[in-house]
Amino acid sequence: MSLDVNTLSERFEIPGHVVVKEGPAGLVLLDVTNTLGSSTIALQGAHIMTWAPRGEAPVIWLSPFGKFATGKSIRGGVPICWPWFGPHESDAKLPGHGYARTTMWEVVRTEAVGDSTRLVFRLIENSVTKAQWPHDTEVTLTVTVGQTLSIQLTTTNRSAQAVTLGDALHTYFEVKDVRDIKILGLENCPYIDKVDGQKRKQQQGPVTIDQEVDRIYLESTQDCILDDPGLQRKIRIAKRGSRSTVVWNPWIEKAAKMGDFGENGYLGMVCIESANAADDVISLAPGASHTLDVTYSVER
């Protein structure tokens, strides 16, 4: 398996659909452009950096102040949290949100599916990842780029023991002004409030944001709608195989500390993460598979 741009170009480029190129800090990128939409995906992390249907403003937020580097997660796009969400439950030294977002993935195939483009990636395990996760699991990501963006993260347990894991598509959505948006679909869900001592609360009405928000909504299997009056659009987040939804905006101080948001960057984004986290982690029997399946679409 070679991750060199020329070899990947020969094997995976499709005229009118996929171009392989080198991006910032030498990251290998797949640029997908078809008649329905466009997206850029980094091989590190199988990280979807951008997506927009043709003629639309970007749907996915990518920080203009992101610091690209090998082994560092990109700020924005769709980071993949796997095989745990948030801090590791017993070892604080292990990376937050797992290692899938900072590890290299290989391209399994690229194909045109009608006017859309499908790409399949597989995580490459190595001695560093094995030391963090000594389980025999295979994880693949299937991305279909078109008028909608459809993503399937599939884990298969190839070991003889049950494996427990958490995952999330930590998607950053672009909004005109986060103070004006509403998130629908989480009404009445219980949630863990990470900015209020992990207290358990219950959502009343739509979610609005006027301060730091970091919540894990449990038992939330419904579609979410991100209603953005500023951009005059609604983004539908339709999901299967996900029982939690994380809503995150760092607000002023935390964004400033993180150093890769820019001065008012936090106002132009919100993360709505389709997840299996906290109470909702997945237990996979030997031989079993689980798919976290999400589709984003823009509605007017």
From 88, 97, 170, 290, the catalytic residue? 170
Q: Residue 170 catalytic?
A: yes
174 binds ligand BG6 (CB under 6 A): no
Is 248 a residue that touches ligand BG6 (CB under 6 A)? yes
**Cis omega before residue 58 (within 30°)?**
no
Q: Say which residue the tokens 């038992």 belong to.
A: 219
219 catalytic per annotation: no
> Which residue, 202, 194, 198, 245, is CA-closest to 81?
245
Measured distance CA(38)–CA(83) in Å, rounded: 28
| Residue 204 tokens, joined | 């009343």
In single-letter form, the type of residue at position 99 comes to: Y
Q: Does 236 bind ligand BG6 (CB under 6 A)?
A: no
User: Pattern 263-282, binding to ligand BG6, x per CB under 6 A?
Assistant: ----------x---------
How many Å apart are CA 81 and CA 85, to the nearest integer? 6
Query: Which of 115/260 has CB closer to ligand BG6?
Result: 260
Considering beta carbons, is residue 17 or 170 the nearer one to ligand BG6?
A: 170
Catalytic site residue from 17, 88, 174, 273? 273
Closest distance of CB 108 from ligand BG6, Å: 26
Residues 6+ apart with CB under 8 A from 7: none
β-pairing, 149-157 with 163-165?
unpaired
Binding mask 187-226 for ligand BG6 (x = CB under 6 A): -------x-------------------x------------
Beta-carbon contacts of residue 71 (< 8 Å; ≥ 6 apart): 44, 102
Binding-site member from 71, 96, 114, 205 for ligand BG6 (CB under 6 A): 96
Give the catalytic positions in this structure: 170, 273
The footprint of ligand BG6 (CB under 6 A) covers: 73, 86, 96-97, 170, 194, 214, 246, 248, 273
